[in-house]
Amino acid sequence: MTSTTSTSATETRALRWRTVDIVVASVLAVACGIIFLVWNSVGYAWFLAMDNLTPGLGGMATGIWLLGGILGGLIIRKPGAAIYVELLASCVSAVLGSQWGISTLYSGLAQGIGAEIILAIFLYRRFNLPVAALAGFGAGLGAFILELFTSGNLARSMEFKVIYFVTETISGALLAGVLGYFLVLALAKTGALDRFAVGREQRAR
């Protein structure tokens, strides 16, 4: 009984946010917000080019906009980290001049929730490549659902919706999930994440 109680208390402490978690998550969000702002031009041009080729293929370009939640979740490893980083990054992008204005915040929230749900399903205990890819998929799914109602996609053809769903979620899995996973490993190897579990795991190898 004592052992079970001790284990439960340890797990509870491990999921509590520390000051360093808040600071690093905030810095990460600002960096991602700047990336989003750049991608608003580069990625959106790609989005339009693919959509003109075949309506719905533009979803292939969306993964970079989902990156914040994945990075936050994989580095901080605490409840709410994916939502916090993705939403704050979206705020930074909006403040710095995103062409979508306040709607950028709704997107960030939906994308962060999508990634957060996947990490919560694994009880914030698994952060390997498959989980990262699934979190990216979840972020893409969150974006897809929101855009059904905010971008008029619900009224579009079933063919468009199927193509857009597939491309957006795959883009999330690859450009946010897989890319985010390897970015975190690269950062950990530099020693920048030594105060986090992912940094300690890299040192132990």
Confidence class for position 13, pLDDT limits 50, 70, 90 = low
Instruction: Let me know if residue 2 belongs to a domain.
Output: no
Instruction: Let me know if residue 13 belongs to a domain.
Output: no
- pLDDT per residue as tens digits for the range 149-167: 999 999 999 999 999 999 9
Residue keyed to tokens 């980083």: 85
d(CA 22, CA 28) in angstroms, rounded, equals 10
CATH number (domain holding residue 37):
1.10.1760
Q: What is the span of the domain harbouring residue 68?
A: 18-198
| CB contact at 8 A, 116 and 82 | yes
Tell me the CB-side half-sphere exposure of residue 142, using CA atoms within 13 A. Answer: 29
d(CA 144, CA 127) in angstroms, rounded, equals 24
How many domains in the chain?
Answer: 1
Instruction: Let me know if residue 97 belongs to a domain.
Output: yes
d(CA 38, CA 25) in angstroms, rounded, equals 20
Instruction: Let me know if residue 115 belongs to a domain.
Output: yes
Instruction: Let me know if residue 116 belongs to a domain.
Output: yes
In this predicted structure, the answer to whether residue 3 has a pLDDT above a threshold of 80 is no
pLDDT, position 205:
72
Instruction: Let me know if residue 24 belongs to a domain.
Output: yes
- Residue whose C-alpha is closest to residue 142's, from 45, 44, 65: 65
Instruction: Let me know if residue 12 belongs to a domain.
Output: no
| Residues in contact with 190: Cβ distance below 8 Å, sequence separation at least 6, in sequence order | none
- Residue whose C-alpha is closest to residue 42's, from 63, 11, 73, 14: 63
Instruction: Let me know if residue 109 belongs to a domain.
Output: yes
- pLDDT per residue as tens digits for the range 14-51: 789 999 999 999 999 999 999 999 999 999 999 999 99
pLDDT, position 145:
98
d(CA 150, CA 142) in angstroms, rounded, equals 12
